[in-house]
Amino acid sequence: MKASPPTEAPSRWRAGARHLRSSATTRVAGRPRLRKNAVRALKSLGGAIGYAAFVEPYWISLTHVDVPVPGLSPELDGYRIVHLTDIHHNLVSGPAFLESVVRTANSLDGDLVALTGDFVTHNPRRMPQCFRILSGLRAPDGIFATRGNHDYGLPLDRMSRIARRAGVRLLENEHETVSASRHRIAGGGDARIVVAGVGDLWEGHPNPSLALMGAPSDGVRVLLSHNPQVAEIVAPWHRVAIQLSGHTHGGQVRPFHRPLRMLSDGTAKYASGLVEAPATRVYVSRGVGTSALRLRWNCRPEIALVVLRSVPGEP
Ligand SMILES: [Fe+2]
């Protein structure tokens, strides 16, 4: 004889059964969903970190910057300066990467190359190898450099010798005047460029007056300074047409397109790009390498081609 089910379960049973059903549902459906979301989040975080560590630091961008120079002689209109900065030669910015940077820089057909410091990060023993690779740079009017805050691990004369062997002229509060070889004046004269370099703001003693002392008045003046804030001590009588700088790395890691680092030291105005300073213009490059965090996010490494453009006005 078959037992018939109870027609009405006691209310305590019904409540208990409802509770059991709801906890079972939570265990079966709720935890896997949580786990799935956590896995998805970890995957996207891992992907983001992988991208910031292994993709963007090697994804060089080329920037073409036209710089208006009032009173620039028409012969120099279109003068091309290839600007590299903050190489930070290390395992991330290693030999193969740096060789590809040199090849790309040479493809820009610059008249002159400007290197604005931070060739290494903490290890000055990497300096010779860094300059050996940079010796592949080519420019008819020369390759000039200045030191960044990370380059003071070697004495100046030692670093100058390493640079000279690579065909690079290191400038520390001094200048050199070069004839613009591809821009000769029809009458036989020379169009001249004054390239000046100053010491680093943090580790050295930047002195634009000393750097430009005795510079000819007719040459267009280009100032190399690792730290862009030196522009605040450049005066109108220095007549600097353009200052080339780095140091900020453009922020390097920019979640939501806002830099994580750098703002605390007051360089926000000079984060990156072409900036109007009190007495000159500054081009601040995002640089080639990385320091501190070896990551880049929304802030690709950069090689800049700075082109001087003649505009009416007093030099
Ligand atoms: Fe740097």
pLDDT tens digits for the chain (315 residues)? Answer: 444 444 444 555 555 555 545 444 445 455 777 777 877 777 777 777 888 888 888 899 999 999 999 989 888 999 999 999 999 998 878 999 999 999 999 999 999 999 999 999 989 999 999 999 999 999 999 999 999 999 999 999 999 999 999 999 999 999 999 998 877 655 556 789 999 999 999 999 999 999 999 999 889 999 999 999 999 999 999 999 999 999 999 988 887 776 665 544 556 889 999 999 999 999 999 999 988 878 888 889 999 999 999 998 877
Please tell me the distance between residue 84's alpha carbon and the centre of ligand 1 in angstroms.
Answer: 11
Please tell me the distance between residue 291's alpha carbon and the centre of ligand 1 in angstroms.
Answer: 6
With beta carbons less than 8 A apart as the criterion, state whether 211 and 230 touch. no
The C-alpha atoms of residue 51 and residue 142 are separated, in whole angstroms, by 36
The C-alpha atoms of residue 271 and residue 247 are separated, in whole angstroms, by 9
In this prediction, residue 265 carries a pLDDT of 54
Please tell me the distance between residue 151's alpha carbon and the centre of ligand 1 in angstroms.
Answer: 10
In this prediction, residue 38 carries a pLDDT of 78
In this prediction, residue 295 carries a pLDDT of 83
In this prediction, residue 218 carries a pLDDT of 87
Please tell me the distance between residue 204's alpha carbon and the centre of ligand 1 in angstroms.
Answer: 15
Q: What is the pTM of this model?
A: 0.85
Q: Which two tokens stand for residue 134?
A: 């940079």
The C-alpha atoms of residue 140 and residue 181 are separated, in whole angstroms, by 7
In this prediction, residue 267 carries a pLDDT of 62
Q: Which two tokens stand for residue 28?
A: 């079966």
Alpha helices in 95-182 (DSSP H): 95-106, 127-134, 156-165
Please tell me the distance between residue 215's alpha carbon and the centre of ligand 1 in angstroms.
Answer: 29
Class of residue 248 by CB neighbours under 10 A (exposed 0-12, middle 13-18, buried 19+): buried
Which amino acid, residue 273?
G
Please tell me the distance between residue 247's alpha carbon and the centre of ligand 1 in angstroms.
Answer: 4
Please tell me the distance between residue 197's alpha carbon and the centre of ligand 1 in angstroms.
Answer: 17
Phi, psi of 310 (to 5 degrees): -75, 125
Please tell me the distance between residue 18's alpha carbon and the centre of ligand 1 in angstroms.
Answer: 64
Please tell me the distance between residue 110's alpha carbon and the centre of ligand 1 in angstroms.
Answer: 23
